[in-house]
Amino acid sequence: MIVHEKVLDKVTAFITRETANGRELLYLRHPLAGIQLPAGTVEDGESPELAVRRETEEETGLQNVSIAAYLGRLTLTLPPDERVLLRDSPLSSMPATDATLVRGGMQRGELLKVLDEQGNYLRVHYRKVIIRDGETKEFNRKGWLASEVVTNQIVRHLFHLQVVGECRDSWTQRSDHNFEFGLFWSPIDVDPGLHPAQQEWMVAARKAGL
């Protein structure tokens, strides 16, 4: 199987503030996926520095932050049956350039499950969960796309950001998928139950001096 040596860049924001009781780290409570750190995909043509500021604003609402340090990067190779999209792309009904497009497109950074391969095309399964009108809805689509628009390589850039000025102790922020995130602070040396998938990020950040 041919795997393209392209990479998808992602970012994670370790946002801190100083208090009378010491340094605190900002977490978000995802309604479906538990406690997480602000993170996301670098847009095409965007630098990781700009991306981490944008993701911070989108997921936390904070604008009064400064980048204190670059904490390094982590490289992830996905399992053989997984890929991520390098650019926005539709699905096709068949592995051909003139095939009928499947309704609904997919965005850069989406995770796909590989079902089959024919030449330069992959048949994939795309799953997405959103909240609409107060209800959780799941969308599942299957179709074909060119293997050149996906990769199995992810590079995650870790940044330490600091809040400039005053900040609330807790608040909510609505995401682009209509999820309502609950933002809260925790002492820097206390784990409030970070999602297991993100524990590696925390270990790397602490080794880098967070």
Q: What is the pTM (predicted TM-score) of this model?
A: 0.91
Answer yes or no: do 16 and 65 share one domain: yes
**DSSP letters spanning 96-153:** STTPPEEEEEE-TT-EEEEEEEETTEEEEEEEEEEEETTEEEEEEEEEEEEGGGEESE
Q: What pLDDT is stored for residue 59 in this prediction?
A: 96
Answer yes or no: do 72 and 92 share one domain: no
What's the burial of 46, exposed, middle or buried (CB within 10 Å: 0-12/13-18/19+)?
A: middle
C-alpha span between 163 and 18 (Å, rounded): 8
Answer yes or no: do 17 and 103 share one domain: no
User: Can you give the CATH number for the domain in which 31 is found?
Assistant: 3.90.79.10
Beta bridge partners of 76: 154
Determine how many CB atoms are found less than 10 A away from the CB of residue 140: 9
| Residue 140: domain span | 82-151
Answer yes or no: do 72 and 119 share one domain: no
Residue 65: enclosing H or E segment and its boundaries? strand 65-77
Split the chain (210 residues) into runs of 10 and give each run's mean pLDDT.
68 97 96 93 95 97 97 97 94 86 84 96 88 75 93 97 95 84 97 96 97
Answer yes or no: do 163 and 134 share one domain: no
